[in-house]
Structure 1
Amino acid sequence: MHTVAVLALEDTIGFDLATAVETFSQARLPDGRTAYRVLVCGEDDEVSAGAFTMRTHHGVEALQLADTVIVPGRNNPLIPTSAITLEALQDVAAAGTRIASICVGAFSLAEAGLLDGRRATTHWRAAQAFRQKFPAVDLDPDVLYVDSGAILTSAGASAGLDLCLYMIQQDHGAAVAADASRLAVAPLHRGGGQAQFILRNQPTLQTASLEPVLHWIEHNAHRPITLEQLAEAAHMSVRTLNRRFHTETGQSPMTWLSGVRIRHAQELLETTDYGVERIARQTGFPSPSNFRALFQRTLGVSPSEYRRTFRGERTAQRHRQPAGQG
């Protein structure tokens, strides 16, 4: 029987750990037999998991018994992982054991040196800190999970479930994975990636020189705007505006404007019944086709798929307007 060891680190995220334990524990083979033996392992008998404390039945030495090791995230991933745990992860990796992280559990894998030169992902909110701490890792924060062979990583929260179902499918086929997905009341495959959950251009940027023009963009993004108009609103030359934006946001002014429009469109898709044509017009896109193309390229899903994800298929069908109306 395939053994899955779930590593219970101090300050572990309970949701991440429970996702792996429950998903693998409930998986059944076609003849009804349990598909996996699940072990919860930790350095200590008791482990803090934020709002509660849990007891583990196995030490980290039990990772050597596993065919798959799951590393959940911790509430503060910037706190160093213990040397004992890092050594245990390095040992099982050297033995060829499959290792997967959920959410910011990727920080522990990167600390162990297991992600250097590999493509990986983590929760989008931790992406900047991850890049700064582990520049040798090819981080892709837009996807739900990454399979780079013996090492797999997933994005935040429910993306861990996506990864667990994916591994079940790899181990036992689509039928067993589909049954596990039904038990979890979750789709076996989700369209798009993590990008659709990222709140673009969050108003947390601290920049005195750009604050007035960022505020102006927020309130005028629905209008046709040229680069020259942005420079005028910022009281800068076009050259200075471009330099300031690249230095302080990492984007061009027009890319920032497009991000604001995308975010406004996300809000309308989530909260209104408006058709794509109306949303494109109301958020400043030159045409519905331009809106659809940029939305798909930015978030990895179409506007209609995004609406289904965040409002539910039934709600979207009930309120969807015929093309050309609104």
Structure 2
Amino acid sequence: MSAGSVAVVVTDEIGLPSWELYELSIPLTVFGKTQPDLAEHWYDLRLCSTREPGTGEEARGDIGLSLRTPYGLDGLVGADTVIVTSVPDPCVEEGRPLPPGLADALRRAHASGARMVSLCTGAFALAEAGLLDGRRATAHWMHTAQLAARYPEVTVDDSVLYVDDGDVLTSAGLTAGLDLCLHLVRRDLGAHVANQLARRMVVPAHRPGGQAQFIDLSVPATDDEGLGPVLEWARAHLDRPLTVDDLARRAAMSPRTLYRRVQAATGTTPLQWLLNQRLARAQSLLESTDLPVEKIAELSGLGTANNLRHHFLKHVGVAPGDYRRSFFSRRAA
């Protein structure tokens, strides 16, 4: 038994090279390499080409590489999760048709119960299949205007890293796809496993989907050097009732300057950053200890059990007790 089957679509048409090594490598790295010390049962990964297997034709990347897969589009049906990476550029820029059978295969996979995921312009394939109608979705900010114009039934948000709409999830381009894949691991296997995997990949453990796609990097490097220690100090003292004024005093800067620098460095406000850190601490404690919820609320700086429950339901989607039952028992096993 695995943590679930993941089918990744590799799209290609003659003259329309599409899959990019970086975006394809993201689901391969996250879901394709077993992590026996993190979870007894990892994911079962398969690559599904838009070319029929056995034809001798290979999916060709746009940097001179080729890929032969044992599965065709029929391999999408029955998977627990289906991931569509970028579709061919002419399908986006010129509105050319998607590879034959792709939209229908995506509809059949979703109807069979698959969780549907797109990375970057893979959202165009989900939209063409009608799976984004009436939903909020995103893609790389360079293509969101085209997505919105071509599919008016989709509510396109060009300001976020990814959108989790339950059984359909979409991400912006490039590294945002990694954020979304780690988010899926967090949903499936818990915060501890996702954090440890992110640490092995030397990437941030959790960038919330609502974080901006692009962050103002005009802040000099010395600013980040001054900000880093105060954020680390805050992580070490989450049990305290920290305020923006507290952080500003610690950083020896005005609250306004701190606000600007935190937003530039993290894409979110200082108070939202603090809340994200507190929730991450609470998730870790729920998974790794049998402390009562009241104590976890205190240690994470969320104050009371009621406040912890409120933020968990709003931001994690489940109550703390349900979260613990799902992931504490899994780690213990």
Whether 1:72 and 2:78 are equivalent positions in the alignment is no
In structure 1, C-alpha distance between the alignment counterparts of 2:47 and 2:188, rounded to whole Å: 20
Q: Percent identical across equivalent pairs?
A: 40
Whether 1:173 and 2:190 are equivalent positions in the alignment is yes
Q: Structure 1 unaligned segments of length 5 or more: list them.
A: 199-262, 277-286, 307-326
The amino acid across from 2:20 in the alignment is I
What's the CA shift for 1:118? Answer: 0.2
Whether 1:36 and 2:43 are equivalent positions in the alignment is yes
Pairs within 5 Å for 1:50-65? 50-51=62-63, 52-65=65-78
In structure 2, C-alpha distance between the alignment counterparts of 1:179 and 1:292, rounded to whole Å: 29
In structure 2, C-alpha distance between the alignment counterparts of 1:75 and 1:64, rounded to whole Å: 22
- Does the CA-based 8 Å contact 2:10-2:85 persist in structure 1? yes
Residue 227 of structure 1: aligned partner? none
- Does the CA-based 8 Å contact 2:141-2:213 persist in structure 1? no
Change (3 A) 1:170 1:293: same
Residue 8 of structure 2: aligned partner? 6
In structure 2, C-alpha distance between the alignment counterparts of 1:8 and 1:94, rounded to whole Å: 20
Residue 94 of structure 1: aligned partner? 111
- Does the CA-based 8 Å contact 1:7-1:40 persist in structure 2? yes
- Does the CA-based 8 Å contact 2:87-2:124 persist in structure 1? no
Change (3 A) 1:72 1:31: closer
Whether 1:25 and 2:29 are equivalent positions in the alignment is no
In structure 2, C-alpha distance between the alignment counterparts of 1:16 and 1:74, rounded to whole Å: 11
Q: Structure 2 unaligned segments of length 5 or more: list them.
A: 13-17, 52-56, 228-253, 274-333
- Does the CA-based 8 Å contact 1:155-1:194 persist in structure 2? no
In structure 1, C-alpha distance between the alignment counterparts of 2:209 and 2:32, rounded to whole Å: 27
Query: How big is the alpha-carbon RMSD for the aligned residues of Structure 1 and Structure 2?
Result: 3.1
Pairs within 5 Å for 1:218-229? none
Provide the TM-score with structure 1 as the length reference.
0.62
In structure 2, C-alpha distance between the alignment counterparts of 1:169 and 1:191, rounded to whole Å: 12
What's the CA shift for 1:132? Answer: 1.1
Q: Which deviations, in whole Å up to 9, do the C-alpha atoms of 1:192-225 show, x marking residues without a partner?
A: 8553516xxxxxxxxxxxxxxxxxxxxxxxxxxx
Change (3 A) 1:94 1:54: same
- Does the CA-based 8 Å contact 1:27-1:176 persist in structure 2? no
What's the CA shift for 1:14? Answer: 2.0
Change (3 A) 1:290 1:192: farther
Provide the TM-score with structure 2 as the length reference.
0.61
Residue 46 of structure 1: aligned partner? 58
Pairs within 5 Å for 1:186-265? 186-190=203-207, 193=210, 195=212, 197=214
In structure 2, C-alpha distance between the alignment counterparts of 1:181 and 1:75, rounded to whole Å: 29
In structure 2, C-alpha distance between the alignment counterparts of 1:271 and 1:31, rounded to whole Å: 35
What's the CA shift for 1:191? Answer: 5.8
In structure 1, C-alpha distance between the alignment counterparts of 2:213 and 2:168, rounded to whole Å: 24
Q: Which deviations, in whole Å up to 9, do the C-alpha atoms of 1:216-246 show, x marking residues without a partner?
A: xxxxxxxxxxxxxxxxxxxxxxxxxxxxxxx
Q: Which deviations, in whole Å up to 9, do the C-alpha atoms of 1:79-122 show, x marking residues without a partner?
A: 42124011000001112210100111111101111001001111
The amino acid across from 1:87 in the alignment is D
Q: Between Structure 1 and Structure 2, how many residues are aligned?
A: 227
In structure 2, C-alpha distance between the alignment counterparts of 1:156 and 1:70, rounded to whole Å: 14
Residue 155 of structure 1: aligned partner? 172
What's the CA shift for 1:170? Answer: 1.1
In structure 1, C-alpha distance between the alignment counterparts of 2:262 and 2:186, rounded to whole Å: 30
